Amino acid sequence: MCDQSNQRIQKLDSSGNLIAKWGSNITGDGDLKSPFGVATDAAGHVYVADLDSNRVEKFDNNGTFLTKWGSPGTATGQFDSPGAIAVGPGPSGNVYVGDAGGRVQLFDQNGTYLRQFGGQGTGDGQFFRADGIAIDGMGNIYVTDENTHRVSKFDPNGVFLTKLGSVGRGNGQFELPVAIAADNSGLVYVADVNLDRVQKFDSNGVFLASWGSQGTGPGQFNNPSGIAVDKSGNVFVSDSVNNRIQEFDANGVLLTMWGNLQAGAGPGQFDFPAGMAVDGSGNVFVADLYNLRIDKFAPWPQITGTTVVGKDLTITGQSFQNSPVVLINDADESAFISSNSPTSIVLHRKPKKLGLHAGPNTIEVTDQGHHGSNVFTLTL
């Protein structure tokens, strides 16, 4: 996680436990002064765009500093408050960095400058500033500009193709589009910080769906400033003022959320989560703006196999000896039955997430059923 106030990155497991941290309140190698944007490449390397240091830093997946590039300025390879960053597809995908100068610069993964496109203005292919960048599986590039209320699409060489949106509140319109994500099939998701909604488009810019409204309830937003898509097509949104992350399927159905409506600095807490990225292993990286850090969350453990009374309950990464729990699975439903109680907890469908939270002998099951999200805690 990108810890902007303390200028460090912290690594946590899926239960919010601190694994590692890196960075400090200076500007040496591996230090972070104002980290905002975060991206990952196919090998799991982590790239952080630092607004105040006007540079990009590259780390391995465990936080070991590898390299850095950039300095303040408008010349090639320099930056003016870089906040948007993305990495192209494939093992040698280029690194795209957008800044307040209204341009996107391309670098190789070692920081060698390649080329740039854009320029300040309101014409086709121009931006007032590049607020967010996304790249689809074909290498097409999407850039948001909150000031012109639109998304511009470019081919992999930076040639302008088309634009999405206009100012307004209707379907396919924007007020302040900042965050953007694209999946491998070309679906595009745009988060609007003023309209508190996510809109979904096809690869040609045709509006498909939207979800969200202003509020603190499940599926609502207050200034959604970051968005990312995993390889399964699930959509993660930084609900910035609500200090939480919400995960949806590709149709906008809420799957799970974490964080707290109150700002906090503890593990798994946020103080204005902003930019996001998901690596190929499903790890979620969140730029936590006012905590001045990047949080890394591992994927939730997945259920494997079938468990019977007296046998091990096996979850990826965890094993419980002689756990008094029966897990029943079929195509339509699942049931968790504690041998210490005759009561069965029947879920509407297979649980989406299963993880440890309350202690070594307690599991928490989050079920996304037909009647919304339900959380059950089972003591083993």
Indicate whether 140 pLDDT > 70: yes
The answer for residues whose C-beta is within 8 angstroms of residue 173's C-beta and 6 or more apart is 149, 165, 166, 167
The pLDDT, as a whole number, for residue 28 is 81
Using a 10 angstrom Cβ sphere, with 0-12 exposed, 13-18 middle and 19 or more buried, the burial of residue 75 is: exposed
> Residue 369 has which token pair?
């059923």
* Position 290 confidence tier, pLDDT thresholds 50, 70, 90: confident
The pLDDT, as a whole number, for residue 30 is 78
* Position 311 confidence tier, pLDDT thresholds 50, 70, 90: very low
DSSP bridge pairs for 245: 238, 258
Residue with tokens 């965890």, as numbered in its chain: 318
Average pLDDT of the segment spanning 262-273: 87
Q: What is the CA radius of gyration of the chain?
A: 21
* Position 24 confidence tier, pLDDT thresholds 50, 70, 90: low
Distance, CA of 95 to CA of 40 (rounded, Å): 9
Beta strand 273-278 with 284-288: parallel, antiparallel or unpaired? antiparallel
Average pLDDT of the segment spanning 360-367: 42
pLDDT digits (tens, 9 = 90+) for 312-353: 333 333 333 333 333 333 333 333 333 233 222 222 233 333
Average the pLDDT over each of 24-38, 221-235, 347-361 and give the range with the smallest value: 347-361
Indicate whether 270 pLDDT > 50: yes
Q: Is 304 in contact with 352 (CB distance < 8 Å)?
A: no
Distance, CA of 136 to CA of 333 (rounded, Å): 35
- Which letter does DSSP use for residue 292 in this model? -
The answer for residues whose C-beta is within 8 angstroms of residue 248's C-beta and 6 or more apart is 198, 211, 219, 234, 235, 236, 237, 254, 255
pLDDT, averaged across the chain: 77
- Nearest by Cα to 189 from 247, 229, 138: 229
Distance, CA of 110 to CA of 167 (rounded, Å): 38
Give one word for 168, left, alpha or beta, with left for phi > 0 and alpha for psi -120 to 50.
left
The pLDDT, as a whole number, for residue 70 is 96
Indicate whether 156 pLDDT > 80: yes
Please give the model's pTM, rounded to 2 decimal places.
Answer: 0.77
The pLDDT, as a whole number, for residue 379 is 39
More confident residue, 290 or 82: 82
Distance, CA of 333 to CA of 97 (rounded, Å): 45
The answer for residues whose C-beta is within 8 angstroms of residue 242's C-beta and 6 or more apart is 216, 220, 221, 222, 259, 261
Q: Is 139 helix (H, G, I), strand (E, B) or coil?
A: coil
CA angle 314, 244, 220 (to 5 degrees): 110
Q: Is 151 in contact with 142 (CB distance < 8 Å)?
A: yes
Residues 6-18 as b or e (16 or more Cβ within 10 Å = b): bbbbbbbbbbeee
Indicate whether 161 pLDDT > 80: yes
Distance, CA of 208 to CA of 44 (rounded, Å): 31
DSSP bridge pairs for 363: 356, 378
Average the pLDDT over each of 135-149, 261-275, 291-305 and give the range with the smallest value: 291-305
